[in-house]
Structure 1
Amino acid sequence: MAMVFDDRTDAGRKLAERLGEYRNKQDVLVLGLPRGGVPVAYEVAEHLGAPLDVFLVRKLGAPGNEEFALGAIATGGVRVINNYALRQMGVSTEALAAVAAREQRELERRESLYRGDEAEPDIAGKVVILVDDGLATGATMRAAVLAVKVKKPQKVVVAVPTGSAEACHILNAEADEVLCLDVPTHFGGVGAWYRDFAQTSDEEVLDLLNRARQRMAA
């Protein structure tokens, strides 16, 4: 029977229980994908005693059907395009460029808002655990994995509470380790597996990041 989580906090705690091998290790870094992945990642980082940061990725939604991912962009200029989806939706190169430009502006806005004066985390040589609230197409997480790999980590772990079988399979080819806590037979969408799937606000992301930074400083 498929798992249904109360909310992202509940999902993060359940996910963290399966990542015990990384607890209290000096070289572990947890990166949440804003916004929805951050409350999940916060619980993982708390449980593991690891620092928490964000990794900015934006889905490139199809014009008129924003939830349908044509690809994604990530910090560092990484761009992942699903050419099959592009042909299927009949999206022109010009239309895709307009979507990418808009999402790039939003990525830069969030980077500035969430990071402020904080330096980007040092990823080189680290075990990086990338966390989101779920995987539908996997495009967003795939962009994150490719962007992180450029920074020469020791290992890239993808950890999500729920995901489609196809997305989890795709990520297995990209990341060193993939933990999809639950893979429902009939996925539907990420929100279907949460009782409370309210949108995460910028304020909530900032609050969780500040709390995590204070914990590490202490």
Structure 2
Amino acid sequence: MEDKNQQAIELMKEQKYEEAAGLFNAIIEESPKDPVGYINFGNLLLHINDTERAELFYNRAIELDQNAATAYYGLGSLYYDQADFATAQKHFFQAVEIGLEEADVYYLLGMTFFHQEDYKLALPYLMRAAELDPNEADYLFQYGLSLAQGEYIDDAKPIFKQVLKLDESHSDAHYNLGVIALYEEDLEGALDHFDQALAIQPEHMLASNAKKQIMDVWHNSDA
């Protein structure tokens, strides 16, 4: 059974969705009381945006096993993609409480708070995601951004610097370091970060506008 599940997952990765669906269906027919088949089929359906059927399969898995953490994670992802962050949050919480200890679930749980502008509540989950996957620059960046939004500026600064160590082409990390430099009244440092953001991403409008404001200040002071 494990071999069939793995084979079906590989077919999914190869974008052979019909073949994968056929195999998942066969797995469910062979073991209708095993939640794993329903979860994997739900993952496939979610991947191809058949959300209504995906929800049915995840719920069926939970009926079979109340502790099917990955089914709750699947439901959380489904609602997250629909921007229903409060419902997504509830399902991610259940996955974590059951014991799903993966960076993804902590990251998405943190992001449900972030999208609802509860930045301080997002912090422990985004921090945990970054701990579990320290090489994922986006997890670290969102943790830093939540610190900054929560007005923990001194704590955010080294996080953005760490993001740049992981990904030196992260224009948004440069932009946010520029904003922090402005907060510290370091106009030259801010300009340097905005220039670097624009070198990486020339259409970065926030960096472009911030740079223009600095140049206007300097121009007016020279006038």
Tell me: higher relative CO, structure 1 or 2? Use CA pairs within 8 A at least 6 residues apart: 1
The structure carrying a bigger strand percent of its residues is 1
Which interval holds the TM-score relative to the shorter structure? under 0.3
Give the structure with higher Rg (CA). Answer: 2
Structure 2 length normalisation: TM-score? 0.23
- Larger proportion of helix: 2
Query: What is the TM-score of this pair, normalised by structure 1?
Result: 0.23
